Amino acid sequence: MVIAFEWITSGGDKEAVGKARGRIINALIGLAVLAVAFALANVAARFTGLNLFDLTIPAPDRGAPGL
């Protein structure tokens, strides 16, 4: 949102437009990195048998002896 504001208010200044364009490109690269990281984590989870969308922490059994 801020980047779009910078682009719009640049007033045709080539340096300001270039800065805004660079920030947009960096943001898109960041989104791509996040997507790849999520895909790799999903592949690793499938190999290990985990479900990334349903992670639960098992609670100790209160009826077990010694607890």
In this structure, is residue 58 part of a structural domain? no
Q: Is residue 6 a contact partner of residue 20, using CB atoms and an 8 Å limit?
A: yes
Number of domains in the chain: 1
Question: With bands split at pLDDT 50, 70 and 90, how would you rate the model's confidence at 67?
Answer: low
In a domain, 31, yes or no: yes
Give per-residue pLDDT as tens, 11-44. 888 888 888 889 999 999 999 999 999 999 989 9
For residue 56, being part of any structural domain is answered with no
pTM attached to this predicted model: 0.64
> Taken in order 33, 34, 39, 45, is the CA torsion positive or negative?
positive
63 occurs within a structural domain:
no
Looking at the domain assignment, is residue 9 inside a domain? yes
Gyration radius (Cα) of the chain, Å: 23
Range of the domain at 40: 2-48
